[in-house]
Amino acid sequence: MAKKNKKFYLSTALPYVNESPHAGWALEIIQTDVIARRHRLLGEDVFFLTGTDENSLKNVRAAEEEGLNVKELVDRNAKKFYELKKALNLSFDDFIRTTEKRHIKGAQKLWLVCKKDIYKKTYGGLYCVGCEEFYKESELKNGLCPEHQTKPELVEEENYFFRLFKYQNQLKKIIKEDRVKIIPETRKNEILSFLNSGLEDICISRSAERGRGWGIPVPGDPTQVQWTWFDALSNYINALGYGENDKNFQDWWQKNENKLHIIGKGILRFHAIYWLAILLSAKLAIPKTIFVHGYLTSGGQKMSKSLGNIIDPFELVKKYGTDTVRYFLLREIPSTEDGDFTYEKFEARYNSDLASGLGNLVARVMTVAENLKSQIPNLKSTYQNSTFKKEIDNTWKKYEKALDEFKFNEALISVWDLISFCDRYIEKERPWEKSKKQSLIIYNLLVTLADIALMLQPFLPESSDKIFDQLGIKPTEKIREFKIKKGKPLFPRI
């Protein structure tokens, strides 16, 4: 059990708001929500940050395509991202938009602090608007961006550059020694390989003309705006009050060792190299951990507007419910790998795991328990069966280990193994038949349901609350005196 009041800071990446949120983004923010909820249950003081990246060139172009001014587009779409809080039952503590004053002030302050490592030069290169990054020809695949499969644009102009090369050896040492731990190990090796190939200084501005005047101005040079990644990465400290050197910034960033970034694999380089180098230049604390998840694909391909394979999380929630969406994304998709979404897989997982699994177990146990209300013993010990105690203890061990390693699907597998154990116990003991030990059989099952509900709190908070409500106890109660009140089925079959 963690020490009370230990600080734990975690953040998602900031999604672009050139379009509405899709289920791929829902995957990241739900994973982050599980981690935040778990650490709160451990008694820690948690700060969970998310938000939106609004200063990118792709936002400018999306607005032009729709015949809107950029502010109208980013305001409209940022609102949709925020509305996921209710739709997906998210528990974030702050939502930062990169068009906010606190962010602009912090991004400009960071630029000035890093000024010794910034210089201006004329440059020509291949730029992917989707990635918001220059690529070398050797990095392209068949002349296309490896991430977006689009042809980069040739850009030639005078911009500001950051001396990234200066930090190459320092970054190697930090990554090798796990001073910033990158999970999984394969992503750490990917970054070390990139560092070993040699770093080049990076362009960190664009002309205000090319950016259509949209973006955060470079301090002292109104002809240039900051590169969207330089400004966007600073959100992690700006939300804590970096621009004002607020006490929150000192407490949550500078003095706090427990800082976690949750990001997708396509933006690892920005976080594990560029962001760390900027922090080193500014002589600021670095994060402790970077967890890298895979992509949610649709029909085997990364979701994108151009391919027309976007899955709308709002529509999913409307049709199937919040916890069903959370469960599928956390159980079906291995946390560090890509996983595919189809409606067939979604409904099969719902019917087998939720309707026939968890929902069926709760309904069977509560039906018998309701008929035996007065006979259920209010015993002073949590466990009345050594086999159950051993099974529950082993489940907790597997569950905690999986969550420590960010293996959400494996944590859920351990819970469903416990559900299967209960099903086998029910078939063997037949609690619906009158016997001397009937009430004790049900008590064992009720105790196990309470543990299952507690394990599910970070994953399926609404369903967990419903189970505790039917049991008539609170999650924090150690001595469980059940006050049974059977409710509606948790997951009716579809």
Q: pLDDT tens digits for 282-341?
A: 999 999 999 999 999 887 777 766 667 789 999 999 999 999 999 999 999 999 999 999
Is residue 449 one of the residues assigned to a domain?
A: yes
For residue 230, the model assigns a pLDDT of: 95
Distance CA 316, CA 491 (A): 15
Parent domain of 444? 354-471
For residue 134, the model assigns a pLDDT of: 67
Is residue 74 one of the residues assigned to a domain?
A: no
For residue 383, what is the domain's CATH number? 1.10.730.10
Distance CA 147, CA 130 (A): 8
For residue 427, the model assigns a pLDDT of: 95
Is residue 402 one of the residues assigned to a domain?
A: yes
Q: Are 419 and 453 in contact (CB under 8 A)?
A: no
Q: Encoding tokens for residue 279?
A: 């922090």
Q: Encoding tokens for residue 167?
A: 């930090």
Is residue 433 one of the residues assigned to a domain?
A: yes
Is residue 410 one of the residues assigned to a domain?
A: yes
Give the list of residues 6+ apart from residue 53 with CB closer than 8 angstroms, or none: 14, 15, 16, 17, 98, 228, 232, 235
pLDDT of 238 over the 50 cut: yes
Region of poorest pLDDT, from 143-152, 178-187, 276-285? 143-152
Q: What is the mean pLDDT of the chain?
A: 91
* Beta strand spans in 178-273 (E): 181-183, 202-203, 205-207, 217-218, 221-226, 259-264
Is residue 142 one of the residues assigned to a domain?
A: no
Q: Are 177 and 170 in contact (CB under 8 A)?
A: no
Kindly report, residue by residue over 45-55, the tens digit of the pLDDT. Answer: 999 999 999 99
- Vertex 53 angle, CA 47 and 54, to 5°: 135
pLDDT bucket at 422, cuts 50 / 70 / 90? very high
pLDDT bucket at 245, cuts 50 / 70 / 90? confident
Number of domain units in the chain: 1
* Helix/strand/coil for 209: coil
What percentage of the chain reaches a pLDDT higher than 70? 90
Select from 117, 138, 142, 51 the least CA-distant residue to 90.
51
What percentage of the chain reaches a pLDDT higher than 90? 73
* Beta strand spans in 98-135 (E): 118-128, 133-135
**Burial state string for 363-383 with b = 16 or more CB within 10 A and e = fewer than 16:** bbbbebbeebeeebeeeeeeb
Kindly report, residue by residue over 353-404, the tens digit of the pLDDT. Answer: 999 999 999 999 999 998 887 667 665 445 557 888 899 999 999 999 999 9
